[in-house]
Amino acid sequence: MNRIIVISGAMASGKSTVAQRLAERLNRAVHLRGDSFRRMIVSGREEMTPSPTPEAVAQLQLRYELGAMVAARYHDAGFDVVYQDIIFGDDLREVIQRLGDRTVHVIVLSPSAEVIAQRDAARGKTGYADGWTPEMLDRQLRESTRGIGLWLDTSELSVEETVDRILRHLG
C-alpha cells in the first residue's frame, strides 16, 4: 500500500536531504519538493517574510494547494510520495485534509535552532534572509505545529539514522 510522507521543518533542518534519501530507499517513490512551485513563479513572486504581504500569503497557499494536488496524483498512480516543504500549523492541517483518505504520515524534523544556524552557514545558499532567523522559524514551528506527526530531533542524527527512524515509524 502506497502512502504520502510529508516532511516538514525549518529551513536548513535537513528536509531535502532526508526526503531524497528516503525516496531512494523506497521501492517506487517520488520526491516532491514543495519549493519548486515557488520557484516556478518567474515574475511577480513575493517571498515570505515575518510580516508577509497578502500576495505572499496567497502564493504560499497556492504552493501548498499545488503540492497536495501533485502528491495525491502520484499517490493515486501507485507511488509512495515524499512531499517535503516548510509547512507549519494550520497550513499543515489543511494540506493533510486536502490529501483526503489517503495514507498520510507527517514527519517533522526539529533540530535545535543552533544546529539549524550551523547547517545554514555550511550550505552554499542561505535560507535566512528577509528578516528571518533560525530561532524565529524554530519557535514558530514548535508553537504552531506541536502534536502533529512524528517529531525527530535530528541535531545529532546522520541522514541515514534519520531515514532509518522514519522507516521504522512507517513499519
Question: pLDDT for 109-162, tens place per residue?
Answer: 999 999 998 888 888 777 777 778 889 889 999 999 999 999 999 999 999 999
Q: What is the rounded CA–CA span in Å between residue 85 and residue 141?
A: 12
Quickly name the fold that domain 4-170 has: Rossmann fold (3.40.50)
Neighbour order of strands in the sheet with 29-33: 29-33, 80-84, 4-9, 104-109, 150-152
Domain ranges in the chain are 4-170
What stretches of the chain adopt beta strand conformation (E)?
4-9, 29-33, 80-84, 104-109, 150-152
Whole-model pTM: value is 0.95
**CA 154 to CA 18: how far, in whole Å?**
10
